[in-house]
A and B are shown apart, each in its own frame.
Chain A
């Protein structure tokens, strides 16, 4: 019997690996703090003036801040990120739920505390985008139910942002730092914590290539421009850039050294994104516009591969055994 080949290592107490601490202190924790601050500004502004004209700027600032950490899906953000940014909305839940709230003037829409119980599709940045930018929703009066609803969604968003920030700083950061220590059932070794963080970087870029760009691109015969992320607010291309910036920054913190291939790939991504004419990506039925967007998509994948080469390979990090496999 080959006992020796399958020797079960004892759970040893080991210090967290350097990259984990850098990722937390240079990228993740400041990211959530920045988002909490921006969401607070949005909520306070909404309290004073709920109209789209007043809120579009602080909403955009909050979304910008969100992109720093918005693709992280672990710890408090594993499901918590979905109620901040519910996208893609495959079944059209966001407009449906908002319409229902407004038409029946549901009380939940007037109280940020009970609002935390409504469908995640009616919460967060994309619900606000619908209210602030969609012509079916954005025409509300200052003293209407919809106005109160916007204030409620904004206040709930600020609450969520604060909870995420605290959840990371006071809770999950320590779970990562104590990887490999006795009783830590999330990470049985320090390498597992590092791998989990690294996976977040790659997943973000995959999501940008496959969904943020892949969904609107659809097929050549049938492009789907309104499947772009945040097209109503014309942030679709901006999000692609910002999420890529964030992934690169995350990778830099994790590797804790210079990443020339990654920086080159990121710079090229911005170059090819400069050539895209419509920031909302609504022009992709035009074949040349489509081609320009496909080049952006290729470059996001090139950035992904550069990070894999420059961060993953030296650290010996590989994707999951079962998650890559169907059964």
Chain B
């Protein structure tokens, strides 16, 4: 017998988005974009053993995607200028939603979901002066834009929700770009910052590295206890071999992670990705330009380098880290060195993004 209550329940179920979880697409642990041999692009899900859980077409090369914590959908951001983002159904690549920033804004890199998957946060910059903003989208309501607040810096590139679920950490890259040709306008005076805000945008803390103000803070890694790693890209004179990674804990001074001079030089002033190891005891950065991975202890001590051409993607793995590269390689990087897991006839793009938060 159909009661009013069961009728309403079935009606609700029918009208809601079918909640297809990640199990339906082969239980991937990571998301990665790739260019195939025919120059088309795909979004793939990878498992911890390096195997491919799913692969769906992307309309164009995107920026790093972020995965919904529960549903098998990913948000891919357009490359610069970031005029749109696409919510992709990971079963078939169907575009579920197309997100457009306000007319005077551009997406500027990454996005991240709130831990319960209800909200999507996006980093944005003003077209006019590159002032940073965080956009808020309601993932439960068709990704309607429901708000925005300043990132308290210029040219933000990455952000995360802190383990307390009450705080955002934002990497303000510091670079102001020309609205037409994307030329960098302020590399002499840039002031990148690591900023913490409340979920309503209230500024809680800001950190800068004045000695390395030309080191653009670009990418973030988080550990469960709130330790933040931030990876940088040098915009100053070439050959200066600055450190490219620092650690920070709320209320303390940042700890700079420095490698020996020869190793820093070999990184070519560029860190592409950053990740803590699976057990959180160490942290690493990649440099596709140097073809290297640098490992550091969680106190900032240099532990060693692993060489692999065009390596960029990096994520935590039970055995250490998983790394991906432009040659199609997927590697497991542990304390004893690297071991190949898989090789695809594809070029893995910049990031390897864990799906679970």
Give chain A's interface residues, CB within 8 Å of chain B: 1-3, 5-9, 11, 73-75, 78-80, 82-83, 88, 90-91, 93, 119-121, 183-186, 188-189, 192, 195-196, 199, 320-323, 325-327
Contact = CB atoms under 8 A, between A and B. Distances in A.
B326 A184 contact: no
B87 to A, nearest CB: 18
Contacts of A80: 262
A286 B36 CA distance: 51
5 contacts: A6-B36, A73-B266, A185-B331, A322-B348, A323-B289
Contacts of B306: 185
B52 interface: yes
Contacts of A121: 261
Given A9-B345, A327-B272, A2 B310 contact: no
Contacts of A74: 307
Contacts, number: 135
A184 B350 contact: no
Contact of B42 (A5, A88, A120): A5
Nearest to A185: B338
B347 A120 contact: no
A183, A195, A199, A321 pick with most chain B CB within 10 angstroms? A321
B266 A2 contact: no
A73 B305 CA distance: 14
Contacts of A195: 309, 327
B349 A321 contact: yes
Contact of A1 (B35, B55, B325, B346): B55
A101 to B, nearest CB: 16
B265 A321 contact: no
B54 interface: yes
B21 to A, nearest CB: 16
A93 B262 CA distance: 13
Given A323-B291, A327-B350, A6 B42 contact: yes
Interface in B249-290: 260-263, 265-266, 272, 288-289
Contact of A323 (B237, B262, B310, B351): B310
B326 A3 contact: no
Contacts of A196: 309
Given A2-B42, A2-B57, A9 B240 contact: no
Nearest to A327: B350
B326 A188 contact: no
Nearest to A82: B262
Contacts of A192: 309, 327
Contact of A9 (B109, B305, B309, B344): B344
Contacts of B347: 321-322
A183 B340 CA distance: 6
A6 B38 CA distance: 11
A323 B55 contact: no
B51, B262, B306, B350 pick with most chain A CB within 10 angstroms? B262
B174 interface: no
B147 interface: no
Interface string B26-68: 0000000011101010101000001110111100000110000
B329 interface: yes
A120 B54 CA distance: 47
A8 B347 CA distance: 12
A204 B226 CA distance: 43
A80, A121, A196, A325 pick with most chain B CB within 10 angstroms? A325
A3 B56 CA distance: 8
B344 A7 contact: yes
Nearest to B323: A185
Contact of A8 (B52, B64, B240, B351): B52
Contacts of B204: none
A186 B333 CA distance: 12
B176 to A, nearest CB: 15
Contacts of A188: 327-329, 340, 343
B179 interface: no
Contact of B310 (A7, A8, A320): A320
A183 B339 CA distance: 6
Given A1-B92, A9-B344, A73-B266, A90 B239 contact: yes
Given A2-B57, A79-B266, A327-B350, A322 B42 contact: no
A79 B329 contact: no
Closest 9 interchain pairs by CB? A321-B326, A322-B288, A185-B338, A320-B310, A79-B262, A321-B347, A90-B239, A322-B312, A323-B288
A75 B311 CA distance: 16
Given A2-B42, A78-B292, 13 more contacts: A1-B92, A6-B345, A75-B307, A79-B266, A90-B238, A93-B261, A119-B261, A184-B340, A188-B343, A189-B343, A320-B291, A322-B310, A322-B311
